């Protein structure tokens, strides 16, 4: 399938001459290897050496020019997983004159996005590490359009979900192994190397125990923009609310099973008076699953990668994540973090099996499916007795694997009870209008006037105008926060006010300079910026 590279005709001699004369040109964004993406002209790749090659000539450009810091530890991360030492990108350097002695270059005419997939067989990794980052890297650079081509350099075969990667561009993505069939020296006419991390929300625990990323920069809006694109490509149309409401149970069929699934489905259907459907990756096509989830009122599933499909839930839906015995839900939150991203508008609920009677363990399975037979007897004993897996690093902690691959008989009354604590009536999309969280601008024309009474009392009257954007918005509640700080002091007096003027007399001294900070607040929690500080002398 890779032979279609020649679709776009290029003038071979002109391309070769340009490469020899101009060499490679690179300009990057980002200050560190962890946030860098580089744009190249004439970046080459030797399929024999399995190395990228930068050709130097008088016209070549290398920005940043890091010298040997390029190896400390690398020029950039090729996957969206931060600073992972198996995912680094670099190139070797040669003078363009060396081309005379090298295999004839084969030119890649398509604009290329060169990157690594992190774990293409795991659906959470596929969406979180690859699909969303690729989609938004392509949005960042206009020439990475639907006619550009993806090159996956991590060295995996297509993997279980290759069809999903194919949706991102009109050209077949190429894998590292396939490059060999194209030639010994490939030269990418125009390419981007690296991947934006701006949409990722979770770190998997390589250096500290797993958890949400420290600085999450994505909201539900961008997630839905991406899922809308994917649904269009999958030919799944968003049905309008009219149709019947239902619950989806996303089941696993190989491991981490719900042992009483039939009973669970009946109980959910009865409790919420809704049709309840099961799906699994093994038994249903991707578009079928997406079609069902994108209209569901509630998604119920064991902890596991299939829960990343909450991406496709409609606003207002409920996610119920079930955890096996001894797995603390607070310690494993990729799907909680997703559901509770600002603007995702999903309700998130966890249930944990706390009853040893209801768990089935598999000590004799291979270690990567949670077996512990290879451990010494004392360690096995300790693990079996333990009531909670202590926090740990990724990825081979045997106690974690042992517990996370248990099967579970769900205690139905306790599950229904935790769902009912959050979902009072019917779950699913609320009919209310979703108010988008727009922030106020600065208050304007702030002024102050002081009056002194005698030698110990003074008053400070402060007034201001509404933020400029307020007159175009319908805001339920507008408040102002005012801080009054005596010049030279570290502390200040804060006030929350409803009007655009106020006279302060408490703790105001005569013949003193005060700094007055004012900002607007919409609907209690949308804090605007402070206006320029106002200097007031009493
Ligand atoms: N998987 C599945 N059904 C199963 C077991 C696994 O669909 O019975 C999927 C799972 O959703 C993930 C992949 O297979 O996409 C790898 O599963 P694993 O248990 O290794 O990862 P986890 O789900 O714990 O992230």
In order, the DSSP letters of 468-506 are GGGGG---S-EEEEEEEEETT-S--EEEEESSSEEEE-T
Residues 344-367, mean pLDDT to the nearest whole number: 98
Q: How far is the CA of 228 from the centre of ligand 1 (A)?
A: 24
Q: What is the reported pLDDT for 70?
A: 97
Percent residues over pLDDT 70 in the chain: 96
Q: How far is the CA of 123 from the centre of ligand 1 (A)?
A: 7
Count of CA atoms in the C-beta half-sphere (13 A) of 436: 5
Cis peptide before 222 (omega within 30 of 0): no
ipTM over 0.90: yes
Q: What is the reported pLDDT for 455?
A: 86
User: Average pLDDT of the chain?
Assistant: 95
Q: What is the reported pLDDT for 2?
A: 46
Q: How far is the CA of 304 from the centre of ligand 1 (A)?
A: 6
Q: What is the reported pLDDT for 243?
A: 80
Q: How far is the CA of 413 from the centre of ligand 1 (A)?
A: 27
Q: List pLDDT tens digits, range 61-108.
A: 999 999 999 999 999 999 999 999 999 999 999 999 999 999 999 999
Write the burial class of residue 528 (CB in 10 Å: 0-12 exposed, 13-18 middle, 19+ buried).
buried
- Give CA 248 to chain center in angstroms: 24
d(CA 330, CA 333): 6
Best mutation site among 304, 389, 396 for ligand 1 pocket (most ligand atoms within 8 Å of CB) = 304
30: pLDDT strictly greater than 60 = yes
Query: 208 or 436, which is more confident?
Result: 208
Nearest CA to ligand 1 atom 20: 122
Q: What is the reported pLDDT for 229?
A: 98
Q: List pLDDT tens digits, range 137-153.
A: 999 999 999 999 999 99
Q: How far is the CA of 356 from the centre of ligand 1 (A)?
A: 23
Which amino acids bring their CB within 6 angstroms of ligand 1?
A: 122-124, 252-255, 281, 304-306
Q: How far is the CA of 400 from the centre of ligand 1 (A)?
A: 15
Residue 91 and residue 193 in contact, taking contact as beta carbons nearer than 8 Å: no
Q: Which atom of ligand 1 lies nearest, measured to the CA of 255? A: 8
431: pLDDT strictly greater than 70 = no
Nearest CA to ligand 1 atom 10: 305
Residue 463 and residue 501 in contact, taking contact as beta carbons nearer than 8 Å: yes
Residues 245-256, mean pLDDT to the nearest whole number: 98
Least confident of 29-38, 66-75, 235-244, 330-339: 235-244
Residues 409-420, mean pLDDT to the nearest whole number: 98
What are the residues facing 62 on neighbouring strands?
Answer: 26
15: pLDDT strictly greater than 80 = yes
Residues 296-308, mean pLDDT to the nearest whole number: 98
Q: What is the reported pLDDT for 4?
A: 54
Count of CA atoms in the C-beta half-sphere (13 A) of 102: 24
């Amino acid at each position: 399938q890779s032979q279609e590279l020649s679709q776009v005709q290029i003038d071979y001699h002109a391309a070769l001459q340009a490469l020899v004369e101009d060499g490679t040109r690179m300009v990057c964004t980002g200050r560190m290897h962890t946030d860098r993406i580089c744009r190249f002209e004439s970046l080459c790749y030797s399929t024999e050496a399995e190395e990228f090659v930068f050709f130097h000539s008088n016209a070549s450009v290398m920005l940043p020019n890091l010298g040997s810091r390029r190896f400390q530890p690398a020029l950039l991360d090729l996957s969206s997983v931060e600073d992972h030492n198996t995912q680094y990108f670099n190139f070797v350097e040669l003078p363009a004159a060396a081309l005379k002695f090298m295999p004839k270059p084969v030119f890649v005419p398509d604009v290329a996005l060169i990157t690594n997939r992190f774990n293409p067989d795991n659906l959470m990794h596929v969406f979180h590490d690859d699909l969303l980052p690729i989609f938004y890297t392509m949005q960042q650079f206009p020439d990475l359009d639907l006619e550009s081509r993806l090159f996956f350099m991590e060295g995996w075969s297509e993997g279980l979900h290759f069809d999903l990667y194919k949706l991102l561009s009109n050209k077949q993505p190429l894998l590292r192994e396939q490059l060999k069939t194209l030639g010994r020296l490939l030269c990418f006419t125009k390419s981007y190397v690296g991947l934006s991390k701006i949409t990722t929300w979770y770190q998997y625990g390589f250096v500290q125990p797993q958890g949400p990323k420290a600085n999450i920069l994505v909201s539900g809006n961008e997630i839905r923009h991406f899922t809308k694109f994917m649904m269009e490509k999958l030919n799944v149309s968003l049905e309008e609310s009219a149709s019947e409401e239902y619950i989806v149970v996303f089941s696993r069929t190989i491991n981490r099973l719900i042992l009483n699934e039939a009973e669970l489905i009946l109980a959910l259907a009865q409790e919420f008076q809704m049709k309840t459907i099961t799906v699994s990756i093994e038994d249903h096509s991707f578009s079928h699953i997406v079609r069902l989830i994108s209209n569901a009122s509630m998604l119920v599933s064991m902890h596991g990668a299939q829960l990343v499909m909450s991406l496709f839930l409609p606003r207002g839906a409920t996610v119920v994540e079930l955890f096996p015995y001894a797995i603390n839900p607070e310690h494993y939150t990729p799907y909680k973090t997703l559901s509770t991203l600002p603007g995702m508008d999903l309700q998130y609920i966890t249930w944990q099996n706390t009853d040893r009677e209801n768990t089935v363990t598999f000590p004799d399975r291979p270690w990567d499916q949670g077996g512990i037979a290879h451990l010494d007897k004392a360690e096995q004993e300790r693990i079996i007795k333990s009531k909670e897996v202590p926090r740990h690093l990724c990825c081979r902690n045997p106690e974690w694997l042992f517990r996370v691959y248990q099967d579970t008989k769900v205690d139905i009354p306790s599950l229904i009870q935790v769902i009912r604590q959050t979902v009072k009536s019917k779950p699913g999309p609320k009919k209310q209008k979703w108010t988008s969280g727009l922030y106020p601008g600065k208050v304007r024309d702030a002024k102050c006037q002081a009056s002194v009474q005698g030698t110990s009392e003074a008053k400070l009257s402060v007034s201001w105008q509404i933020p400029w954007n307020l007159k175009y918005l319908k805001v339920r509640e507008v408040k102002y926060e005012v801080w009054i700080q005596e010049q030279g002091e570290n502390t200040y007096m804060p006030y929350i006010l409803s009007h655009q003027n106020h006279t302060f007399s408490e703790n105001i001294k005569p013949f003193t300079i005060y700094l007055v900070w004012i900002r607007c607040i919409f609907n209690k929690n949308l804090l605007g910026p402070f206006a320029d500080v106002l200097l007031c002398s009493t």
